[in-house]
Structure 1
Amino acid sequence: MAAARVEVSVLPDSVLLQVLALLPPWDRLRAAGVCQRWRRLALDRTVWRHVDVSQRRLSSGALWHLLRRHLPAGLCTLRARGSLLSGSRPPLLSQPLLTALGKRCPQLRCLALADTDLRRIPYESIPASLAVLELRRCEIPAAWFQPESSPRPLQHLLVHHVPAFSDHHLLAACSRHRLDTLSLRGSYRLTEAGLQRAAPYLEGLRCLELRGCDAGDATMGSIGYHMKRLRRLELIACPVTGAGLGSLKSLQQLEMLCLELGEKVSPGAVIALGRALPRLRELRVVGACLGTEVMDQIRLNLAHCSCSHSPQPPA
């Protein structure tokens, strides 16, 4: 143990800073109590550019303390997890806290929230510097993402298992922001008509993930017509048929495709689509009952790309 401590002590500051940056925030604070040198390094601003406290349920008071004492002006990423069943306790985020976060950390680019109640927070309170917004199992109000005159740089929107997210949320978000990435999982309130209405606003989209959404053949037609710049497309647990896949042949820039094979999508339809996509380099096929012979057939006919199979959808 002593030898290990000696080895660590001789490491240059630049290496220790990289190690400390990989630790959870509470471990960084523990490291600050080891010695004067470690305190200086553990509290260095570069160590706190990316902060992930999502492993624990955080209280509003703890986040206020973190903001006032440790989050620097150069903070780029903040990941936090609240509690939707907090009882009488205040929710993780409030309008004053978000306003203070935006002022203190003007370089914040990514805000990832899980299990957070946002129903009393107007969308304008979200820091205007954000390029990435992730919402996982959160509650949002009915009037979020509404268009306004002031532009925002949001490029990547990930909405996973947010019960209230519906057609008007999607349309408002897509018409307000020029999205590069859109990831929707478990959005059971979205309808195929809503996805079609949003499609014209997504002509610059590069990455699209639809998982557990009502995205059928009509949605595939809208994707093929409006989203010709797509590089990555994932379709899992969506009611797509082989005929719908044919609409995706216009995605000539597509490089990665993840599909779930079922009764309505045959290997032949996948092969026909893959042959029509000259830039396709990666094909992921999902299906619990998919045999080795089927995958061998796909690989044989799509030699220009790497084909892999998984019985379960990728995480």
Structure 2
Amino acid sequence: MAAVRVEVSVLPDSVLLQILALLPPWDRLRAAGVCRRWRRLALDRAVWKHVDLSQRRLSSGSLWQLLRRVLPAGLSTLRARGCLLSASRQRLLSPALLSALGKRCPQLRCLALSETDLRRIPYASVPASLTALELRRCELPISWFHPMAPSGTLRRLLLHHVPAFADWHLMAASCQHPLRVLSLRGTHRVTEAGLLQAAPQLKGLRHLELWGCGAGDATMGAIGSHMKQLRVLEVVDCPVSSAGLGPLKSLQGLERLCLELGEKVAPKAVIALAQALPRLRELQIVGACSGMDEIRLSLSHCSCSHSPQAPD
């Protein structure tokens, strides 16, 4: 069959806008130099609603230029990557830049940062419009999520491999924001005592991930007592014993469950838990588990899988 060749220039603007929105930001800027029509389309607000700059390390100067040139008032999602070991002039963010971002882009809902030094950034500089904050391999000051600050709007909080995040931050964030999604991975300064203290403030959670935190059987009891609205629960790198499984039976709305089990957990205890959860559709067991065949045969109402180690 002969290949069909389509001239891009004959495509309608609506199609070209969709194509440009899929390109990396740098390629969109190159497209703006092709001709007047492409410049108009490449700089259209619809193309810059969701911006992912994380493929490259950025400095504050580069982000300032993008903010002044192309980032529109309708920007909804911004992802960016800095450099933790950079000099002050090369840091990704400053209080002035964050303040300008909040003013120029009042519809910004999600800010996702990686490898960014935030130790000199006051939390008051974070745009008030945010409903989602994602931090990966970032450095935080101890004063973030101050409990005396006005009530926030964050619904989703994700912290992956943020070594400074501790019990203090967790308690302050849970008191300040009506969180629906909380994902903690590699936050080793979060202890079981901190999780127990914050649990009553996390009653509205729908999605909870605890990877490599200080969670234990007491944490499972607090989850079962306070977080009745959970739909997704993942507890990895914190082995759960048979005693810790019992309190999870109260999570009647749970749809997905991922657990790393302790060495002495019997398959029957896992089966009893899953059978007590009428909406459970996905069960994933992480780590050693000798009874997966028995678990799969006994649970026809959900998909069961096993991973020898935690997935990436």
TM-score normalised to structure 1 length: 0.94
Classify 1:265/1:180 alpha carbon distance in 2 versus 1 (closer, same or farther; 3 Å).
Answer: same
Q: Deviations over 1:193-249 (max 9, x none)?
A: 000000000011100000011100010000000001100001110132121011111
* Structure 1 position 259, deviation (Å): 1.4
Q: What is the SS of the residue equivalent to 1:20?
A: helix
* Structure 1 position 55, deviation (Å): 1.0
Name the CA distance, whole Å, in 2 between partners of 1:41 and 1:311. 49
Residue 116 (1) aligns with residue 113 (2): no
Q: Which residue of 1 aligns with 2:220?
A: 220
* Structure 1 position 297, deviation (Å): 1.5
What amino acid is aligned across from residue 216 of structure 1 in structure 2? G
Q: Which residue of 1 aligns with 2:205?
A: 205
Name the CA distance, whole Å, in 1 between partners of 2:269 and 2:236. 16
CA contact (8 A) 1:192 1:216 kept: yes
Name the CA distance, whole Å, in 1 between partners of 2:98 and 2:311. 33
Q: What is the SS of the residue equivalent to 1:153?
A: coil
Gap regions ≥5 residues in structure 1: none
Q: What is the SS of the residue equivalent to 1:236?
A: strand
Matches of residues 34-49 of structure 1 in structure 2 within 5 Å?
34-49=34-49
Q: Which residue of 2 aligns with 1:148?
A: 148
CA contact (8 A) 1:240 1:264 kept: no
Name the CA distance, whole Å, in 1 between partners of 2:5 and 2:103. 40
* Structure 1 position 35, deviation (Å): 2.2
Q: Deviations over 1:9-59 (max 9, x none)?
A: 222211111111111100111111222222111110000000000111111
Q: Which residue of 2 aligns with 1:32?
A: 32
CA contact (8 A) 1:75 1:105 kept: yes
Matches of residues 235-274 of structure 1 in structure 2 within 5 Å?
235-274=235-274
Q: Which residue of 2 aligns with 1:310?
A: 307
Q: Which residue of 1 aligns with 2:67?
A: 67
Gap regions ≥5 residues in structure 2: none
Q: What is the SS of the residue equivalent to 1:138?
A: coil
TM-score normalised to structure 2 length: 0.95
Name the CA distance, whole Å, in 1 between partners of 2:43 and 2:169. 40
CA contact (8 A) 2:139 2:163 kept: yes
Matches of residues 268-307 of structure 1 in structure 2 within 5 Å?
268-287=268-287, 289-290=288-289, 294-307=291-304
Q: What is the SS of the residue equivalent to 1:112?
A: strand
Q: What is the SS of the residue equivalent to 1:238?
A: strand
Q: What is the SS of the residue equivalent to 2:66?
A: helix
What amino acid is aligned across from residue 271 of structure 1 in structure 2? I
What amino acid is aligned across from residue 143 of structure 2 in structure 1? A
Name the CA distance, whole Å, in 2 between partners of 1:123 and 1:265. 43
Q: Deviations over 1:261-297 (max 9, x none)?
A: 341433222211101101111112223x546xx3322
Matches of residues 78-93 of structure 1 in structure 2 within 5 Å?
78-87=78-87, 89-93=89-93
Name the CA distance, whole Å, in 1 between partners of 2:24 and 2:166. 34
* Structure 1 position 5, deviation (Å): 7.2
Name the CA distance, whole Å, in 1 between partners of 2:91 and 2:267. 48
CA contact (8 A) 1:267 1:298 kept: yes
Q: Deviations over 1:91-149 (max 9, x none)?
A: 21000000000000000000000000111111111000000000111111011101235
Name the CA distance, whole Å, in 1 between partners of 2:130 and 2:24. 22
Q: Which residue of 2 aligns with 1:183?
A: 183
What amino acid is aligned across from residue 111 of structure 1 in structure 2? L
Name the CA distance, whole Å, in 1 between partners of 2:150 and 2:186. 30
What amino acid is aligned across from residue 91 of structure 1 in structure 2? R
Name the CA distance, whole Å, in 2 between partners of 1:76 and 1:101. 11
Matches of residues 129-148 of structure 1 in structure 2 within 5 Å?
129-148=129-148
CA contact (8 A) 2:166 2:189 kept: yes
Q: What is the SS of the residue equivalent to 1:56?
A: strand
What amino acid is aligned across from residue 238 of structure 1 in structure 2? C
Classify 1:4/1:57 alpha carbon distance in 2 versus 1 (closer, same or farther; 3 Å).
Answer: farther
Count residues with an aligned counterpart.
310
For the aligned residues, what is the CA RMSD? 1.6
Name the CA distance, whole Å, in 2 between partners of 1:256 and 1:86. 40
